[in-house]
Structure formats: structure tokens, C-alpha cells
Amino acid sequence: MNKLFVNKTHLKIIILVLLLLLGHLFYRNGKIKEYADERIFMDLEDSIETLGKMNDDIGKIILDDVVIQRDYHINNESIFALDILDDEIRDAYGLDLYSKWLRFVGSADYKIDCIVEDGRLNEKEKSYLKALHMYNKEVIDAYDKILGKYGLNELTILNGKHKGKNTIKIYEEFCKSTNKISRDEKYKILREYRPYEEKKIVENISMEEAKEIGNKIFKKLFPEDEVVYREDTRKNESEYTFINQSSKKDDHNSYRIEVNKTDGDIRIWKNVQYHTNAVSEKVMDQKGKEIAALFIDDTYNCYKKEKHYDIDNVHLIDRIDYNFIKKVDNIYDEMEEVKISINRFGAVDQLYLANPTGKVKEIIKPKLKKEEILSKIKNGVIKECILVRMRDGQLVYEVFVDLDHILYTYTFDANTGAHKAFGKSEIMYFNKEKDL
């Protein structure tokens, strides 16, 4: 009798646990579906726009034979955000498909960075860029065609008229269309080309060390949370990638983590954001200050605060990026950068830390003086001249010159005086944001 009673009690406990788990699963799926309906068109529209900009850049690279600024970079944040959301949508809606186009273009920014690094193009690199340009155009055309089929366009999405209009059906149809494009034999090079393998990535950081780096960062961000890692199925040749799964019930602190195998630089991205009340810009700034205080000291300068607005409400700030760089002995060090993003719900959306291990070589003073560099400028009004240690360790002078009321940057090797780059000024480390 007692044994039967115990067995029934155990059975009730098991049933209760299963009910709780199922309840949490339905709650989570409901939240993800709500999030998907809110974000999917926003991220997809931004991703398609990114492909257009990428094609513009590819055209310049091929035509100009790679006259590229050293800070050249294709911003694929929206593609990455959609890649994460794609996994969640597939689980929540039971879709049996993978978005191959995301895999093709998701790594394109890094591949292009590798291609332009040495300032020259070989035939294989040209073939990859031409194929990517053609592929992006087909994906953009497929997107426009499917939107047209459902009576939508960029304007209707901006005005928020897309909500509730077959969101997942459109997304599924778009993925099937682009997957068909991806299977075309002429795009085989997009799957197989790996410029980073040819460059022989040096693995100075092991997987265990990468996890330790991630652990250290998370303990600072969320000291009350247990850090639990699970493998990320998406492989990246240059970085270790894994997911931190928060021990909290709603996984508010679940992030994807990328740790560079060569230098240990870490980047974390919020995996899922459940919607709560939006906070003010003042609160976002305060959160940014709090996070900054965990990782930097007063030798860092916040040179840029960038606001990103909601696609459906141009007056609503969706995210704010805070960019910091270390300045020591009047030298701005790109090997000591920190980037913090706070979303409109007051949560850390992204965090990037260069050199979290603290292993950076001492900066050797330049051979040339500032005056020797400034003497090379023959036109315009010189506004500023700074010393910068680049990511590859090279020391350069950046001279900011006003030419017809437009600010341009000349870049010179600080030891040889060789002219390295010229272009419109975009990154100005000497700026100082008042809010941070």
C-alpha cells in the first residue's frame, strides 16, 4: 500500500513537472511568435538593403581594383539578427527548412575583409565577388517579387501595414525561393570559397580558453546567473561560437558568443529579446554607462554615440551604440576598443571587447614627428592630426582636412611617411560624446 502510494506520488510529481515544462514551452513559443511578427519584416528589409549596399561595394572593389579604406567593413548586423531569429522561427513554427541564403551572405563580410586586406585581387577572388554580386541581385529580385505578390512594398512596411499579413507564410515562401537560387551550380563558389583558410588562421586561443573568456564577461554582466554553454551548430573558421543559456526561466540573458581564435576578441549578441516597456534615451545612456564601467577606465574615450530608430516608428529609438577606444600617451589604440549596444528595452543588445585577455604589445613611439607629416598636406584646412595604432599593429598618423567644407582623412605610415589612404572622414576618435 505504501509502495503504491509512493509510486502515485512520484507519478503526480512527474506529471506536474511535464505540465510546467509544456507550459513554459507554449509561453516561450508564444513570445517568439510575437517577436517574429514584430521583427521579421524589419530585419528582412534591413538585410535586403544590406545586400544592395554590399553590391555597391563589390562593384567599387572590382572596378577600382581594391582602393579600399583600412576601416572598410560591410555591416551585416541585420543579417546576423535575422539568422538568429530564423532558428527561433523554425523551432516555434515547426518549419522544416534552413535559410541557405543567410549562410551564404552571413559570412560574406568577413570573406570580403580577407580579400581586400592585401590591397590586390587575384582571379579566384574576382570570381567569388562576381558570383556574390549576381547572387545578391537574384535574392533582392526574389524578395521584391514575393512582396509584390502580397501587395506589399518598402513603403507599406515602413508604415507598419504589413503586420498580421501572412508574415510567416511570406517568410517561408521567400526562404524556399532563395534556397532554390542557392542550389544553382554557378553559386558553388559561395559555398566552397574560404579565403581565411588560404591565409592560415593562427589559433592562439583554444576552445576552453574561449569559454573562460566568455565566462569572465558573463560573470561581470550577470553575476547572479549560472553560465551554461551549448554548442552552436553554425561553424566559423576564424572564431569559436557558442550560446550561453541563462538559468533564468525566460532566458532573458541568453546570448550568442563569438571569440576570435587568433587574438581572443569577444563579441556577444542577444539571442532573443522578449518585449517589455520601452525605456527612455536617458535610461539607455545610464545603462550604457553602467556596462562601460564594468570593462573600461578613464583612459577610454567614447568617440561615437549612434542611434538606430525603429523601422515602424521613426521617433522611437530601437538601439543605441556606444563606441570607445583607449587613448594612452596621445595614441588611440584600435587593439583596445569596446563597443556597447543597448536596446530600447534597456538590455545589452551587443557587446564587443578587443583584447579581453589584456595581452597587447607595448606601443613603440613613431619615428616621424607630426610636423613632418603635416608638411605633406598642400591643400585644405588642417583640422586635426592624431596617432592611431591599427588592428594589425601598424602606427599611423590620421590628418583631418577640410576641403570645400567637407572633412577628409589622410592616413600616413608613422615610421616611413608613406601615404596609405584617403577618403571622407567617418571615424573620428578625437570626438568626445557628452552623454558618456
Q: Which residues pair with 45 in a beta bridge?
A: none
How far is the C-alpha of 324 from the C-alpha of 295, rounded, in Å?
A: 11
How far is the C-alpha of 423 from the C-alpha of 410, rounded, in Å?
A: 7
What's the pLDDT score for residue 76? 63
Do 207-353 and 370-424 show the same overall fold?
no
What's the pLDDT score for residue 137? 93
92 pLDDT higher than 50: yes
Domains of the chain by residue range: 2-198, 207-353, 370-424
Question: Which of 180-189, 236-245, 341-350, 392-401 is the least confident region?
Answer: 236-245
| Residue 260 binned pLDDT confidence (cut-offs 50, 70, 90) | confident
> Is the domain 370-424 a CATH 3.10.450.40 member?
yes
CATH of domain 207-353: 3.30.310
| Residue 6 binned pLDDT confidence (cut-offs 50, 70, 90) | very low
What's the pLDDT score for residue 8? 44
What's the pLDDT score for residue 52? 87
249 pLDDT higher than 50: no
> What is the pTM (predicted TM-score) of this model?
0.63
Average pLDDT over residues 65-81: 54
